[in-house]
A and B are shown apart, each in its own frame.
Chain A
């Protein structure tokens, strides 16, 4: 099918890499981290890229998912898959509760409110040490098992995370190419016009916030079982910014762009040792530079450049007329 051509190519690469290089650290370990980050970036891209909102607190939902799995499986010996579902349910409820007051806000205010939410969740994880383990974290988290097989090697984890990662991309592609997806983009394009077309924009924004939070929760549960250990550090403000950077770098409003952003930003620290001390500095720089020089994102920027070069070779192509946009609003 034409619509999913890109997806099939990407899925084939994801499937082939570990078959070709089963013992390569970069493929099975870094690769698995990339695939996990893809879930987060693709989910957040629905909220930021498509619906045009901003969240600086998404690491909190990643954390709630991770801690739900960690606490329920270690302290209550709940089945890991059930724990994952409970985590998703919890995030569903919390995201809905938070969305109500928060999503009335826009722009900077929304950014600040989500930032505050992320910080509060992180403080709770640190302070409530009786069940969260506090700053030391929680260890001995059992691994996942599927049909009686324990997911206990890097290669198996790669496969497990790849499955959910590909599913996340497919879900995102399906949504965007539907009534629900157009609703998101309409809210971004003109909230007033969207309402005039009958879109309940408050509900739309709430739903996509909750959905992207649930993507993060799923990633969090996988992360907890894969690492067998969680601590509040992994779910702080810094990581929220990192996910946003993936979305922005990859190009807002492009699922593959978000995938691309996740790949680049996961690989960078792995390849550049100097990164360790200056991680936040470099993410900040990428965010700023990206916003200023490539507001459409690196992915879109590069694909457009490539297209221009190709078009040049095959002769001049008709130039689209310049957009005549009226920026001011009828208010």
Chain B
């Protein structure tokens, strides 16, 4: 079943066409990867998906709902979450608190209830802590829960962003270059983590430059070049596509 559908998506910044006439659909439960050289428009696609950029044309539908006109927090409420290529960690909080923010949509306490610290608030705090530790454990970060987020090395910050997104219990997780800057061991751990997320039933939209990783775990791959769709298919099909080899993979060899 299709969970995400993009139809004739366009985005230009003044004269720069970042995404052009892009259509694709993601099936529930799969790992769908988007690859392409730097500047191909992958992050722009993510930013349109989560309401940060307004598409210049076309539409995005999630679980049957048109996302047009929705603000980022409303899109998040549909069950979409993401991680960021340039980290957007809350550096003014501890690791655990970062993830606790992820539980925002699963809880209710507002300013007044919080000010009075009603018993329901204390109960909710306990629940949020539990959920957050669960997400941290899944990402292998539970031992760092009380550290200041700013004191973590890069690889762990990447996993922290995933834990934070997981805490919101998303149906769909968009990951922007989760393995960028990681060493080999960390990359293997990241692959295992992404696979665990898939096993939990989360649909994954993955942007990644590490071809080994992409070809190993993706169900389907979309290749972008200068904002246009070059090819789409299984890792096998994409790897053997002459247009792709010429335009993209060829450069890497």
Contact = CB atoms under 8 A, between A and B. Distances in A.
Contacts of B72: 192, 195-196
Interface string A280-294: 000000000000000
A183 interface: yes
B2 to A, nearest CB: 23
Interface stretch (B4-12, B97-105, B211-219, B237-245): B97-105
B89 to A, nearest CB: 7
A253 B50 contact: no
A328 B152 CA distance: 18
Interface string A69-108: 0000000000000000000000000000000000000000
B157 to A, nearest CB: 7
Contact of B101 (A171, A199, A326): A199
Given A178-B117, A190-B90, A324 B111 contact: no
Contact of A198 (B76, B86, B100): B76
A188 interface: yes
Could you say which interface size class chain A belongs to?
35 or more
Interface in A312-331: 320-326, 328-331
Nearest to A181: B114
A330 B91 contact: no
Given A179-B104, A207-B111, A195 B89 contact: no
A190 to B, nearest CB: 4
A180 interface: yes
Interface string B135-168: 0000000000001101111100100000011001
Interface string A209-223: 001000000000000
A22 interface: no
Contacts of B153: 321, 324
A196 B165 CA distance: 8
B88 A190 contact: yes
B105 to A, nearest CB: 4
Contacts of A326: 86-87
A199 B111 CA distance: 13
A197 interface: yes
Contacts of B91: 189, 323, 325
A216 B72 CA distance: 32
Given A195-B71, A321-B151, 4 more contacts: A185-B92, A207-B111, A320-B147, A329-B86
Interface of A: 171, 174-175, 177-183, 185-186, 188-190, 192-201, 207-208, 211, 253, 320-326, 328-331
Q: Which 10 A-B pairs have the closest CB atoms?
A: A189-B90, A323-B150, A178-B114, A198-B105, A195-B72, A193-B88, A180-B114, A190-B88, A320-B151, A198-B76
